Structure 1
């Protein structure tokens, strides 16, 4: 069965179950590959995560190595998801994001997760081809300035060449 994240979002509108009738209470770890800058995919992911109420480890791998989103994610889209995201990220202690090179939208996604994962212990950010040390320092400085729902959240930045 092939399901697209956009369909979870569409099927969740107006109180729907997102296409999944079962809640997966025993699912603790989940990995998904998606386009992180595609608004329908992030919105669909939040709807899907509602079905995993006890999730404590989430890995998101960006499919797009180049920034060519169809329906570009905006800060306004993310703010609209905040109340849903807080509940579906309530138990997430480890979050791994493997994402495309630095851009403002990428940092907004990271900030979104930091604001909504209330018990987060570790945020591991793996960025493709981040070779410039000065750029890496700027990213880390900006990340450390973000407000966090979890005071113990540690941010680790790594790279894939």
Structure 2
């Protein structure tokens, strides 16, 4: 018969491998933040840029719109399908999803939803037809771990919003 302390030791050994440090629950990513004022002015048109991480693709009035998660929407002129032309990029910080109905692009702009008028899609101007504030939760980190205390709403600059994450 084996001494009872050997069994106790084996059980304790099993449980110690399950103990996690509190830092294991916190993300190793850092939030990218904007002020509320900057967020509301952030939707804008820019010259064509490389398409790094394409996501959803839409077709609207001879244009192909390609979502780049967290960044915005690329505008590709497809009026000559054999020679598509990258016309520009609509910057929408914190954009994770878009939808189109008629001539309106609906996108999340971090915690807000914006309705962007596409009737002049070929021009270099962007018109936000409507903004509804604070209808989404802030973006969680890519690893789904908790936000370090130093970046909690109580410990960061007032009126700041998370628009992305960096490693």
Higher strand share: 2
Fold match by TM threshold 0.5: no
- Highest Rg: 1 or 2? 2
Tell me which of the two structures has the higher relative contact order, counting C-alpha pairs closer than 8 angstroms and 6 or more residues apart: 2
Q: Taking structure 1 as the reference length, what is the TM-score of the superposition?
A: 0.24
Q: Taking structure 2 as the reference length, what is the TM-score of the superposition?
A: 0.23
Higher helix share: 1
